[in-house]
């Protein structure tokens, strides 16, 4: 970050500005000194600077505000306390980092990804349906080797479509265009369909399902986007199969407690290295052991899951031990009355 191109504002113990560089005065249209710092705060009405200042004074540490929009500009803001030898806060500085250019580049990148993904999805979708028809028509007329080859092509096609769909979902999330269509949704039915869709993949890897679903009518429905919650469950199940060990197992624990529902997908797979745990939900990130185990993958699935879950007011967490397994838990609010209290069901 080139400090010289950023706005720098210094203030004393009485919160009076004592110095502002050219970049700061050009942005704020305020004098270079002699006014109360509250005049700066008025430029960012959506930020609670009173609370932020209290935190800076109490913790005596730098506070970062990742992104604030002012007119057509975006800023990253740092509040830095000035501490004397007696460990007292006697003033501080505000650093205004203009990230508008970065935001424009991100927008261009998102537009490119969206256009490219749409253009690729159409022919790949056509290939998928054609391959399905071919495999069904000639399955009894060709040798096992040819059938195996066609299935490999078909699986590669599905994998490519999955990556493209992840790219489109991320573009919509980044552009805040991921539209919601909430409706009463039975989670049990969603889980049944997702598990059934991936049964062949589980069998190929000798991964055993532990399925014991309660009756649909005995578990609460929730108001949620049915397509997106299915994507969430699908991503978690796919990961639990893909990164499992041969002859491993996959289980789903579902529970309900008051106004929340929890869904945990667990596996007996390769696990997540501790050094990678903080980055596991970030875009395009894949742990080193995951790349070695499965070379293909976009590193977008868990980012999409986290984005959707948090947009619904839910939470996501995980527990993992390398070479032992991983469990991912999502917690969602229930907005439909519960007919029967069902807790800690293993499916």
Structural class in CATH, domain 179-346: alpha beta
Candidates 278, 193, 290, 276; CA nearest to 240 is: 290
Looking at residue 205, what is its pLDDT? 87
- Give strand ranges (E) for the chain: 7-12, 17-20, 63-70, 73-83, 89-98, 182-185, 208-210, 222-225, 249-257, 260-267, 315-321, 325-333, 345-346
**Mind listing the pLDDT tens digit of every residue in the chain (347 residues)?**
444 578 999 999 888 999 999 989 988 889 999 999 889 888 888 788 778 878 887 888 888 888 888 777 888 889 899 998 888 888 889 998 888 888 888 777 777 777 777 778 788 888 888 888 888 888 778 888 888 888 888 878 887 887 787 777 776 666 555 567 888 888 899 999 999 988 888 988 899 998 776 666 667 778 888 989 998 999 899 899 989 998 999 999 888 887 888 999 999 999 998 888 888 888 777 887 887 777 666 778 888 899 899 989 899 999 999 989 999 999 998 864 333 333 333 33
Sign of the Cα pseudo-torsion (47, 49, 50, 53, in order)? positive
- Strand pairing class (260-267; 249-257): antiparallel
236: CB partners within 8 A, 6+ apart = 265, 305, 328, 330
pLDDT of residue 324: 92
Q: Which residues, in sequence order, are CB contacts of 82 under 8 Å at separation 6+? A: 89, 90, 91, 92, 93
Q: What residues does each domain of the chain span?
A: 3-98, 103-178, 179-346
**What pTM was estimated for this model as a whole?**
0.60
CA–CA dist 235, 265 (Å, integer): 10
Q: Hey, which CATH number is domain 3-98, 3.20.20.70, 3.40.50.2300, 3.30.450.20, 1.20.120.420?
A: 3.30.450.20
Mutual orientation of helices 187-197 and 226-242 as an angle, nearest 10°?
40
pLDDT of residue 119: 78
DSSP 8-state code for residue 340: S
How many residues would you count in the chain?
Answer: 347
- pLDDT at site 250: 95
Calpha distance 159→297 (Å, rounded): 8
CA 135 from chain centre, in angstroms, equals 36
């Amino acid at each position: 970050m080139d400090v010289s191109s950023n706005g720098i504002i210094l203030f004393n113990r009485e919160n009076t500005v004592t110095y502002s560089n050219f970049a700061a005065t050009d942005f704020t249209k305020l004098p270079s000194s002699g006014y109360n710092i509250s005049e700066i705060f008025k430029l960012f009405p959506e930020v609670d600077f009173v609370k932020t200042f209290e935190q800076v004074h109490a913790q005596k540490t730098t506070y970062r505000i990742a992104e604030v929009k002012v007119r057509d500009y975006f800023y990253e803001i740092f509040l830095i306390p000035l501490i004397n030898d007696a460990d007292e806060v006697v003033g501080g500085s505000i650093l205004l980092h203009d990230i508008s250019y970065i935001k424009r580049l991100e927008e261009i990148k998102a537009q490119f990804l969206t256009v490219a993904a749409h253009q690729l999805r159409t022919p790949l979708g056509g290939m998928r349906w054609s391959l399905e028809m071919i495999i069904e028509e000639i399955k009894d007329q060709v040798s096992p080797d040819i059938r195996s080859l066609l299935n490999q092509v078909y699986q590669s096609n599905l994998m490519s479509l999955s990556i493209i769909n992840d790219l489109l979902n991320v573009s919509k999330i980044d552009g805040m265009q991921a539209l919601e269509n909430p409706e009463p949704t039975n989670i049990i039915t969603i889980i049944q369909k997702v598990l059934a869709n991936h049964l062949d993949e589980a069998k190929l890897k000798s991964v055993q399902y532990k399925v014991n679903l309660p009756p649909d009518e005995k578990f609460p429905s929730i108001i949620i986007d049915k397509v997106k919650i299915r994507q969430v469950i699908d991503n978690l199940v796919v990961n639990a199969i893909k990164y499992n060990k041969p002859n491993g197992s996959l289980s789903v624990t579902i529970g309900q407690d008051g106004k929340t529902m929890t869904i945990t997908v667990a596996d007996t797979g390769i696990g997540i290295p501790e050094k990678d745990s903080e980055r596991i939900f970030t875009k395009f990130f894949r742990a080193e052991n995951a790349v070695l185990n499965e070379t293909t993958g976009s590193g977008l699935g868990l980012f999409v899951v986290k984005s959707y879950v948090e947009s619904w007011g839910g939470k996501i967490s995980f527990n993992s031990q390398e070479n032992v397994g991983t469990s991912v838990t999502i917690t969602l609010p229930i907005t439909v009355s519960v007919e029967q209290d069902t807790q800690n069901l293993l499916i």
